[in-house]
Each structure stands twice: as structure tokens, then as C-alpha cells.
């Protein structure tokens, strides 16, 4: 297979800069078809990105014989259905994160992948970004000695305070997203921690809605333990004052600590026996491109991509465990 011919289902904002161009700018890859229900918007996207074919029906793209693999960039409530139909049609699938609304849907997707032999990958692209790879390398080379504890803090201002329910983003509607902003953002953090410390074996959480702006949880606290023995704790709040916003992952070891932001582009800070060091990085213009290139390489017979459906499903299990008591009480 010389070039991988890609299709995209759901060409919304995430595909404009973060992901879409990666499919026609990566080596041995081309974007040949896109789909969106709105005909004017999908036609405009195809024109601006020089895509030869566009559809308003996802199943027409799924059955297009000139499409080899498909990126699903729709909200999570459609991930499982589209992925399953694609794999049954013999097409490998790359899915936006989180993998689905819940772990149960992820399991169904993995079962179909196993049955059809079609691979599935998930857009946890931090596994392929330089700052996060540098952090992994520092840990593996003993820069902070044996890692002991990881702490995660993410506090963001609410953008929903002056909006009606109709004006709010789909991310705060559990029937679409699986949860609130916690599912959308903490999924990246837990996937990355899975990458460097192994899967989470035990997790407990408390989730609440403190501001009453929407139904989903807006404040979360959790503790967990990784396969490697590293113990984690975290807190997330999406209704703080702007002055209280925070974004940090801190890893403490026997001989030092590492800290870095997960979402705000920033430096990796190391404190060790050698003193303080700061490492700065430049991300690719299209931030998912490093991961997309790995998928293309795997499809062409190369090394396997480091973000799989199996690893992504583990993250969905963690999210479900943390918030389960909140939704049981609803």
C-alpha cells in the first residue's frame, strides 16, 4: 500500500488545525473524503483543504471503496456506532478521545476489532509530543530516582455561566460526552499516566456538581494506584475564578520531582540532585500529526502506534470508576 487514503467523519473545529491537515501533510498519506451532515459546511471544508470528495451521509463514506481508513471526529455518542460499522466494512479506525461515552462501549468496539481483525487507535496524541516524551525519558533514566507519587491539578473557569442550555457545548451533556469537562480533559491526563506508569489497578473518586450550571459533574477528586506501584491523586474543578486556574502534573521521586502542564503549552521543570533544570519544546503545527504518522507507519507494515484501542479503553474504565457514584445517585 503506497499511500493511505483517509476519510474523516465529522469535520468540525477539531479538524481545522489540530488534526485534519495531518492526514494530507504526513508522509504516505492523503485525505480523499470528508463527511458532515451540513452540506454547505462540508463542501466548504473540502474546498479549503483540497479534498476531492465530500458526503453528508456517514455510511456513504464508510462504503467508499477508495477510502482505506477513517478518522472519526464526531462527539463520543457516535464513536462506537461509526467505529463498529467501519470495522465491519473492513476499514481501520482512528477515533477522537475519549474512545466512547463509557467503558462498556469501548469493550464492544474492541470485540468487533478482534473479530474483524481491523485495528483501532485513539487520539491521545500527548504520547507522541516532545515534552511528554522527555518527561517519560527523564523518569526512565532515573533523573528523579524511583517515582513515588503523581499529582494532577486542573482548575478552569466556567464558560457556561451566561449561556442557556441550548448555547452550551456538547461536552457538558453526559448523554453525548459520557460526563462533563472531566471526561473530555482528564482523559488526556490519565492516558498519559497510563503510558508512563502502566495501567491503573485501583481507583476511587468523588464527583459533584457545585455550580449547578449543567447536569454533569463539575468538581472531582480521585486517588489511584498504577501497576508500577506509583500512587496518584488529583483534583479537577471547572467552575473556578479565572485567577484560580491551574494546570499541572507533578511527579515526585526518591531523588527529585518533575512538573509540566498538560494543556497549556509550557516547559518541563526538573528538580534533582543536580539542581533545577528547565526544558522547552516546540509542538508540531498540527498537534496530532506525530501520532497520525505512527498510525500511517503501522498501516504500511511499520512499528505499532503507541496509542491503541486497548490502552484508551483502560482510561475510559478509570473515568467511569471515578464518577460512578455521582451518576448512580442521579
Q: Helices (DSSP H) in 3-73: which residue ranges? A: 22-25, 39-48, 58-62
Cell 454533569 locates to 216
pLDDT-based confidence at residue 3 (cuts at 50, 70, 90): very high
Bridge-partner residues for 46, per DSSP? none
Domain definitions of the chain by residue range: 4-124+287-303, 127-284+315-328
What per-residue confidence (pLDDT) applies to 250? Answer: 98
Taking only the tens place, the pLDDT of each residue in 75-122 is 999 999 999 999 999 999 999 999 999 999 999 999 999 999 999 999
Dist CA 310 CA 306 (whole Å): 11
- Residue 330 pLDDT grade (very low, low, confident, very high; cuts 50, 70, 90): low
Question: What's the pLDDT tens digit per position in 200-256?
Answer: 999 999 999 999 999 999 999 999 999 999 999 999 999 999 999 999 999 999 999
Domain boundaries 4-124+287-303, corresponding CATH code? 3.40.50.720
Number of H helices, E strands in the chain: 10, 14
pTM: 0.96
CA 180, 185, 191, 196 dihedral sign is negative
Phi, psi of 101, deg, nearest 5: -70, -25
For 131-194, the three-class secondary structure string (H helix, E strand, C coil) is HHHHHHHHHHCCCCCCEEEEEEEEEEECCCCCCCHHHCCHHHCHHHHCCCHHHHHHHHHHHHHH
Length of the chain: 330
* 198 and 311 Cβ atoms separated by less than 8 Å: no
Q: Does residue 235 contact residue 153 with C-beta atoms inside 8 Å?
A: yes
Distance CA 327, CA 189 (A): 22
CATH of domain 127-284+315-328: 3.30.360.10
Amino acid at each position: 500500500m503506497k499511500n493511505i487514503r483517509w476519510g474523516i467523519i465529522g469535520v468540525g473545529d477539531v479538524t481545522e488545525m489540530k488534526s485534519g491537515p495531518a492526514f494530507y501533510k504526513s508522509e504516505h498519506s492523503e485525505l480523499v473524503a470528508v463527511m458532515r451532515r451540513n452540506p454547505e459546511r462540508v463542501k466548504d471544508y473540502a474546498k479549503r483543504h483540497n479534498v476531492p470528495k465530500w458526503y453528508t451521509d456517514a455510511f456513504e463514506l464508510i462504503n467508499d471503496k477508495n477510502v482505506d481508513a477513517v478518522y472519526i471526529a464526531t462527539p463520543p455518542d457516535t464513536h462506537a456506532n461509526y467505529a463498529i460499522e467501519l470495522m465491519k466494512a473492513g476499514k481501520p479506525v482512528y477515533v477522537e478521545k475519549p474512545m466512547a461515552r463509557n467503558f462498556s462501549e469501548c469493550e464492544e468496539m474492541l470485540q468487533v476489532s478482534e473479530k474483524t481483525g481491523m485495528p483501532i487507535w485513539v487520539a491521545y496524541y500527548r504520547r507522541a509530543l516532545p515534552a511528554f516524551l522527555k518527561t517519560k525519558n527523564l523518569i526512565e533514566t532515573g533523573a528523579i530516582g524511583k517515582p513515588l507519587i503523581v499529582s494532577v491539578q486542573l482548575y478552569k473557569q466556567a464558560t457556561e455561566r451566561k449561556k442557556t442550555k441550548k448555547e452550551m457545548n456538547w461536552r457538558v451533556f453526559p448523554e453525548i460526552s459520557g460526563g462533563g469537562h472531566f471526561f473530555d480533559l482528564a482523559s488526556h491526563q490519565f492516558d498519559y499516566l497510563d503510558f508512563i506508569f502502566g495501567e491503573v489497578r485501583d481507583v476511587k473518586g468523588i464527583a459533584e456538581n457545585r455550580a449547578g450550571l449543567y447536569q454533569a459533574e463539575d468538581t472531582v477528586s480521585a486517588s489511584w494506584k498504577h501497576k508500577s506501584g506509583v500512587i496518584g491523586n488529583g483534583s479537577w474543578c471547572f467552575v473556578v475564578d479565572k485567577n484560580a486556574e491551574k494546570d499541572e502534573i507533578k511527579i515526585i521521586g526518591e531523588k527529585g520531582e518533575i512538573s509540566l502542564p498538560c494543556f497549556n503549552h509550557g516547559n518541563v521543570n526538573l528538580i534533582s540532585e543536580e539542581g533545577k533544570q528547565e526544558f522547552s519544546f516546540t509542538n508540531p503545527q498540527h498537534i496530532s500529526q506525530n501520532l497520525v504518522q505512527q498510525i500511517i507507519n503501522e498501516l504500511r507494515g511499520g512499528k505499532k502506534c503507541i496509542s491503541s484501542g486497548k490502552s484508551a479503553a483502560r482510561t475510559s474504565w478509570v473515568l467511569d470508576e471515578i464518577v460512578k457514584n455521582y451518576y448512580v445517585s442521579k
